[in-house]
Amino acid sequence: MKQTEVYKVNPDNPESDRIEAAAAIIKAGGLVAFPTETVYGLGADALNADAVLAMFAAKKRPLDNPPIVHVSDAAGVYKLAEEVSSKAQLLMKQFWPGPLTLVFKRSANVPEVTTAGLGTVAVRMPRHKVALALIQACGCPVAAPSANLAGKPSPTTAQHVFDDLNGHIDAILDGGPTCIGVESTVLDVTVEPPMVLRPGGTSVEALQKAIGDVQLHPFITTQKELNSEKARSPGMKYRHYAPKAQLILVEGMVTAVMGKIKELISACWMADKRVGVLATDETAWAYEADVVKSLGSRRNVDTMAPNLFRLLREFDEENIDFILAEGVPTEGLGLAVMNRLRKASGYNIIRVP
């Protein structure tokens, strides 16, 4: 088993020697985890097919689940995309660097494994000084899905990465906790109107304000598993973001949700199971369970996103058998939070009036 090195870096002024050491690993075909503003990514040279295959293997990620390719400036897109529309250019100008991934028709420069055999490539420019410095030092685009074992909650700290991938990757750049806490929004700009394939750190409302009509893929709001299709974006296939415990999501009016969760707590205890509740600031007081945690306030759903994956991992540390999660409002980042909760539950969703 290889030794995974951990390099502490200043997130505001990353040390050049540590960035260069990490870049040397990626340029040599190795794997380095690094912080972005959303979650930690696992970086490989996007143009090196063997390195990308090694990244899939380290994560135990299915080969038909495409990673996002990260660039350090907008000019990097033109080496990866066959064409960049005026609408895409507007989005890049307004939202990059930032948590928005754009899906383009891929150029012949991009290996098939990097796009999971698709004719498209997903690209973004992260808004994090460590990430940008690393990509620039590499001198190549960096393919970087979340730096976790496939299916587990995404990592928002270097410790989460270490817990999942120690011994399977070469190095981790520890730049502290991420700030947004859920992955980037993925927008397909090869179709008209553009289609959101995954909600994330850039809200749908902000996209609509910038370019007008934006469609949501049915996958985003579904409350059941859809028929399998080729994944056009990360997170569109397979169970994602899931803790070890069975997560049950309860959606509906708040008072009805609380009543149903209390019933489920009793049922879990009758079955001699440890039960946790993922509640909100306004409701956590009402539950008696083995563990109760709050995502944040319903009055500001954007603040919930940074807590989600950390709390799911904490439930695992406390050996919970069942997690009963409240549904939350879907405006702003709430849509991304609900999308992740639905996926994490395996669509084990209870609707109440």
pLDDT at 327: 97
- Looking up tokens 């049922």, which residue turns up? 267
Give yes or no on whether 5-221 and 246-351 have one common fold.
Answer: no
**In CATH terms, is domain 5-221 a member of 3.40.640.10?**
no
Residue 238 pLDDT more than 60? no
Taking residues 258-285, what's their average pLDDT? 97
Cis peptide before 97 (omega within 30 of 0): yes
Q: What is the pLDDT of residues 111-124, one digit of tens each?
A: 999 999 999 999 99
Q: What is the mean pLDDT of the chain?
A: 94
pLDDT at 57: 97
Residue 232 pLDDT more than 70? no
Q: The whole model's pTM is what?
A: 0.94
Which one has a higher pLDDT value, 278 or 353? Answer: 278
Helix (H) or strand (E) holding 172: strand 171-174
Closest by Cα among 79, 76, 107 to 92: 76
Taking residues 300-308, what's their average pLDDT? 93
Q: What is the pLDDT of residues 42-62, one digit of tens each?
A: 999 999 999 999 999 999 999
Residue 341 pLDDT more than 70? yes
205 φ/ψ angles, rounded to the nearest 5 degrees: -60, -40
Residue 12 pLDDT more than 60? yes
- Residue boundaries of the structural domains of the chain: 5-221, 246-351
How buried is residue 262: exposed, middle or buried, by Cβ count under 10 Å (0-12/13-18/19+)? Answer: middle
Question: What is the percentage of the chain residues whose pLDDT exceeds 90?
Answer: 91
Sign of the Cα torsion 288, 223, 62, 45 reads: negative
Residue 226 pLDDT more than 60? no
CATH architecture designation of domain 246-351:
3-Layer(aba) Sandwich (3.40)
